[in-house]
Amino acid sequence: MNSINILLKTFAYFIIIFLLVFCYCSQTNNKDFISSAIVETQTYQIATTAQGTIVSLFKDEGDRVEAGELVAIIDTIPLVLKLNEINAALVELTNNINAKKTEVLSWESDLKGIEREYKRIATLVEQGSVPSQQKDNLETQLNSSNLRYKANQSLLLSLIAKANTINTQKSQLLDQISRCYVRSPASGIVFTKYKNNGEVVLPGNPILELGRIDTMRIDFYVTQPMLPLFSCGQNVRVRIDYESKEVKHKEIFLPAKISWISSEAEFSPKNIQTRESRNELVYKIRAIVENKNGILKRGLPVEIWK
């Protein structure tokens, strides 16, 4: 009987010690609590600068999207028809330029021949071998050929400038056609689908809303006395509640890093819990946390700990 009493007293002693240690650890850990917050993510409004009907939309809400992946196609038929028209005009203009180049080369050859003949006759006139009238006639012919050569050369330059203008228009059309193929600017999950196949989209109107899930951001608030304790690049912890079949209630801590601290105070938002009065001014701090396993979700309530 005495041995049983001793065992009971020993067991009770260990229970008391355990409770004291547990309470002490809880109080110690509780001192690391900073604030409650909501998980947010960087979002992208996927839009196009083209105008037309959506002929293909490859993603739906909840689908995974990779950076650079094709997500939608806008009708390109009107632009392609205009491009064909420009290509035909370029072919005709190119033929005219080639013909004019040949004509300019012909006038240039004739001009050089007349110049050589003029120099030869001018020498003979100085020697008195031929009359000066022959020199005058060649001089008139030389001036006329020179004017025609310059006129054709100017016309050739004008045709080349026109071809450059049309090529610029062609480049603009090709750019507009490329904009009809809408690609994702980042990897993430489609949160919202604003348009469906067959609907008309205008330049700047969003088609999909995309959110990054590899890196999440958490905005939390601290009071002015706590602000000196934080700095950009400082490490903090994100605590979330976790339940599984084996463990009904468990907590997980994820490492995070402070990326931004507001320089202006504001009133504490209604959905933020702080230990001080809710009416006091607080400062917003943003922490970035990697979401490798996809544990964090947009809108998930979490806690920020030291």
Give the three-class secondary structure for 232: coil
Q: What's the CA gap between 163 and 101, in Å, rounded?
A: 14
Q: Would the pLDDT of 83 be above 80?
A: yes
38 or 7, higher pLDDT = 38
**End-to-end Cα separation, the chain, in angstroms:** 51
135 or 48, higher pLDDT = 48
Q: What's the pLDDT at 169?
A: 94
CATH of segment(s) 34-42+212-305: 2.40.30.170
Q: What's the CA gap between 230 and 259, in Å, rounded?
A: 11
Sheet architecture: strand order including 43-47: 43-47, 206-211, 188-193, 64-65
Domain 43-75+181-210: CATH class, spelled out: mainly beta
Comparing CA positions, the residue from 205, 190, 217, 195 lying closest to residue 60 is 190
- pLDDT digit string, tens, across residues 129-169: 767 777 767 777 777 778 888 888 888 888 999 999 999 99
Highest mean pLDDT among 25-29, 50-54, 125-129: 50-54
Per the CB < 8 A criterion, the answer to whether 177 and 79 are in contact is yes
Q: What's the CA gap between 2 and 4, in Å, rounded?
A: 5
Is the CATH number 1.20.1500 carried by domain 77-178?
A: yes
284 or 247, higher pLDDT = 284
- H or E element, residue 91: helix 77-127
Letter string b/e over residues 59-76, b meaning 16 or more CB atoms within 10 A of that residue's CB: beeeeebeeeeebbbbbb
Average pLDDT over residues 246-260: 82
Q: Would the pLDDT of 228 be above 80?
A: yes
From 53-67, 135-149, 246-260, the region with the lowest mean pLDDT:
135-149
Q: What's the pLDDT at 57?
A: 95
Q: Return the domain boundaries, the chain.
A: 34-42+212-305, 43-75+181-210, 77-178
